[in-house]
């Protein structure tokens, strides 16, 4: 999406982004458990409900509807906004108005810098997508074939169904490989940590393959599986992790 390209610099250097009047902040590693516990709120596919009425709703309407019936969902929604917008629960309000046809329209009120800002359904979807991208989560594309989306998620779940490293495992592994103290890593953004983790993994595998090849231990038919440790060959620079990948990688904390 064009918006992600526009803010590539801010995302790379972990800077806050002001978009549609709302400032979003990268979530840091010390809040990783809480963030991933709440992340599912931003990753709902309305088409999974198989209900035309739900499919026609804005994402904000769907969220508000679920908040009204599920207290834990409401808490997760509030928590994810507080983490990514640097606000408190008192800075969040829902405004509901009824039009001439008796239809209820919901808007989200967010208070930042002592100013209440109105976020309608269309705005919220865009801000939600930016929060996902800023923190390395899947950005759902409803225009994509739904069978393909389901197949991708099923494959991701299958590929990550084995024993997975915990957050602690990953943090200490990155610390050992980079020489950066764990306490400092906990102040990194989640996105930075994910990218460093992937870079460490690429570098280690690259060294293994190159050492094996150069030592005459093995010959790869098409050359080393990893051509360069600088580039992730498996996914594009803009590819996000699916909810299945995130949940599996971090100990299944997403419900």
Q: How confident is the model over 15-65, as pLDDT tens digits?
A: 999 999 999 999 999 999 999 999 999 998 888 888 888 888 899 999 999
Give pLDDT, residue 45: 85
Final residue before a domain boundary, out of 139, 155, 171: 155
123 in the same domain as 220 = no
Query: Reduced to 3 states, what is the DSSP secondary structure of residue 239?
Result: coil
175 in the same domain as 126 = no
* 27 found inside a domain: yes
219 in the same domain as 96 = no
40 in the same domain as 142 = yes
Tell me the per-residue pLDDT of 157-185, one tens digit each, with 9 for 90 and over. 545 555 578 889 999 999 999 999 999 99
Q: Domain range spanning residue 40?
A: 2-155
Give pLDDT, residue 46: 84
Burial of 88: CB neighbours in 10 Å, binned 0-12, 13-18, 19+: exposed
17 in the same domain as 136 = yes
Query: How far is 5 from 9, CA to CA, in rounded Å?
Result: 8
Rounded to the nearest 5 degrees, what angle is found at the Cα of 5, between the Cα atoms of 239 and 193? 50
The reported pTM is 0.76
Tell me the per-residue pLDDT of 223-246, one tens digit each, with 9 for 90 and over. 555 555 455 655 444 344 444 454
């Amino acid at each position: 999406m064009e918006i992600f390209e526009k803010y590539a610099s801010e995302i790379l250097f972990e800077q806050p982004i002001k978009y549609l009047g709302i400032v979003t902040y990268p979530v840091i590693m010390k809040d990783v458990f809480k963030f991933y516990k709440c992340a599912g709120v931003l990753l709902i596919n309305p088409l999974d409900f198989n209900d035309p009425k739900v499919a026609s709703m804005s994402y904000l309407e769907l969220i508000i509807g679920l908040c009204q019936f599920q207290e834990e969902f409401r808490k997760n929604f509030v928590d994810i906004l507080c983490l990514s917008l640097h606000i408190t629960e008192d800075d969040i309000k829902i405004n509901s108005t009824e039009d001439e046809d008796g239809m209820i329209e919901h808007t989200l009120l967010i208070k930042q810098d002592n100013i209440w800002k109105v976020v309608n359904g269309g705005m919220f979807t865009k801000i939600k997508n930016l929060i996902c991208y800023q923190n390395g989560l899947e950005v759902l594309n409803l225009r994509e074939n739904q069978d393909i989306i389901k197949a991708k998620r099923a494959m991701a779940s299958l590929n990550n169904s084995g024993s997975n490293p915990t957050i602690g495992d990953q943090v200490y592994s990155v610390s050992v490989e980079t020489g950066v103290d764990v306490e400092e890593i906990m102040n990194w953004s989640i996105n930075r940590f994910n990218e460093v983790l992937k870079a460490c993994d690429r570098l280690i595998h690259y060294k293994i393959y190159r050492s094996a090849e150069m030592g005459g231990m093995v010959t790869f038919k098409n050359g080393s599986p990893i051509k360069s440790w600088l580039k992730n060959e498996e996914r594009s620079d803009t590819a996000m992790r699916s909810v299945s990948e995130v949940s599996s990688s971090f100990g299944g904390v997403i419900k």
